[in-house]
């Protein structure tokens, strides 16, 4: 079986909780890795398969929002201004914040959106 097919079958089996399909797919990858003399990776995969239990997915709760339980939202304890950051990071963060503020103002007053995204790489000749 092709490597991409094995990876997809492992993900599907893990998502659906199908222990037999997961075991057979991982064992196929282990055999393939042993054939390539990648014994360390094969041993790690075999150990992971033996130690990790696969549980069927939880039933969706009626009336709940789909995906809400998979997102962990936290409130930061510190503001970004309180962090001690290196000067280039601090300047970049400040510039990104100003760019985002300008974008929000442009959206609020219905101006055309800027075509240029936030430049993550300095312009040529500037660094």
User: Which H or E element spans position 93?
Assistant: helix 87-108
Q: Rounded CA gap, 51 and 57, in Å?
A: 18
For the ranges 44-48, 51-55, 90-94, 120-124, the lowest mean pLDDT is seen at 120-124
Q: Rounded CA gap, 19 and 17, in Å?
A: 6
Looking at the predicted structure, is the pLDDT value of residue 98 above 70? yes
Q: Which band of pLDDT confidence, cut at 50, 70 and 90, is reported for residue 35?
A: very high
Average pLDDT, the chain: 78
Q: Rounded CA gap, 63 and 81, in Å?
A: 40
Residue 35 neighbours by CB under 8 Å, 6+ apart: none
Instruction: Report whether 33 contacts 49 (CB < 8 A).
Output: no
What per-residue confidence (pLDDT) applies to 125?
66
Q: Which band of pLDDT confidence, cut at 50, 70 and 90, is reported for residue 82?
A: confident
What per-residue confidence (pLDDT) applies to 18?
84
């Amino acid at each position: 079986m092709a490597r991409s097919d094995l990876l997809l079958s492992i993900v599907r089996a893990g998502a659906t909780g199908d222990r037999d399909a997961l075991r057979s797919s991982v064992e196929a990858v282990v055999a393939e890795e042993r054939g390539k003399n990648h014994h360390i990776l094969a041993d790690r995969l075999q150990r992971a398969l033996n130690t990790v239990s696969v549980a069927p997915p939880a039933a969706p709760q009626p009336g709940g929002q789909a995906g809400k339980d998979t997102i962990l939202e936290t409130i930061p304890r510190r503001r970004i201004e309180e962090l001690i950051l290196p000067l280039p990071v601090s300047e970049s963060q400040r510039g990104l914040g100003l760019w985002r503020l300008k974008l929000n103002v442009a959206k609020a007053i219905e101006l055309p959106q800027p075509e240029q995204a936030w430049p993550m790489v300095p312009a040529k000749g500037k660094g």
